[in-house]
Amino acid sequence: MPKPPVDPNKVVVFSGAGISAESGIDTYRDQDGAWNKVNPELVASKRAWEKHPGNVLSFFNERQKAVIAAQPNAAHYAVQKLEEKFEVVVITQNVDDLHERAGSSDILHLHGSLSQARGDSPEAVPFERGIAPIELGDRDDDGYQLRPHIVLFGEDMLHAEEARQHFLTAGKILVVGTSLSVYSAAGLLKKGRFEADKVIVSFDVQKVPFGYHLVRGKATEMVPVVVDDWLARADA
Ligand code: APR
């Protein structure tokens, strides 16, 4: 199957929790990360939802409080600024809405969004739920218990094929603030084409993906540097 052509004007930004860390939202696997405070199996897995839904609701209600209190940071705004010269698709593992609030216009949430809820049934359609927490007994019109529209461990990533196509056709790929621990999201990076500009900004990644140039440092410091360089070169 021939690969689709690379579009030099298309940028994919692939983000993880590290882009929101400086906005005050805990990452997952850093020293002070969420998974070092609670076992994700107990609060963020399909099995936990089936056995103890109240624990899952409490965990994500707390995460939602942190998101509401947070503001987008210089990294989120720099990502939005890329839209001045490029067609930008933000493909994020994050469930916060900081890319939206920074003004990015094309965003795929691979792991869902805290701002959305849905009934606990396969046919249920997610809807914007505002900032109210979800409690046990909150039900949709069909009587199903409401849950956050979040992909739990043991559930499939959203927008997989669409995300894959974007990686295959991007002329530039900027990866920000992810430990690349969770597949299949992390598996998308290898779809990046040889001829594409591929940069990863992070404090520390265990292994730099093949073909990606590591820019080590804080997202708020380094993402603007990469973005300004790409914008300047677009004018040249
Ligand atoms: N600037 C840049 N990078 C940072 C910063 C920062 N200020 N702070 C932390 N980082 C980096 C860390 O070094 C780490 O590599 O961000 C990464 C965060 O990794 P994780 O906590 O594992 O978050 P993420 O990669 O998004 O996790 C992926 O796992 O638990 C699931 O669904 C959850 O979407 C999440 C997925």
Percent of the chain past pLDDT 70, that is, above it, reads: 100
- Residue closest to 96 by CA, chosen among 82, 83, 109: 109
Counting from 1 in the atom list of ligand 1, the atom nearest the Cα of 27 is 21
What's at 12, amino acid-wise?
V
Protein residue with least CA distance to atom 34, ligand 1 = 93
Question: What token pair was written down for 55?
Answer: 């624990």
pLDDT at 17: 97
Q: Which sequence positions are flagged as catalytic? A: 111
pLDDT at 96: 97
- Residue closest to 152 by CA, chosen among 48, 70, 34: 48
**Does the Cβ of 205 fall within 6 Å of ligand 1?**
yes
Mutate to test the pocket of ligand 1, among 111, 114, 179 (most ligand atoms within 8 A of CB): 179
Q: Tokens 């540097």 appear where?
A: 225
Q: Where in the chain is the domain with CATH 3.30.1600.10?
A: 26-69+117-150
pLDDT tens digits for range 178-230? 999 888 888 999 999 999 999 999 987 778 999 999 999 999 999 999 999 99
What's at 131, amino acid-wise?
I
First-to-last alpha carbon distance for the chain, in angstroms, is 35
Residues in the chain predicted with pLDDT less than 50, given as ranges, are none
**Does the Cβ of 208 fall within 6 Å of ligand 1?**
no
| Rounded distance between C-alpha atoms, residue 130 and residue 166, angstroms | 29
**Domain 26-69+117-150: assigned CATH number:** 3.30.1600.10
For residues 112 and 95, the answer to whether their CB atoms sit within 8 Å is yes
CATH superfamily of this structure's domain 1-25+72-111+156-236? TPP-binding domain (3.40.50.1220)
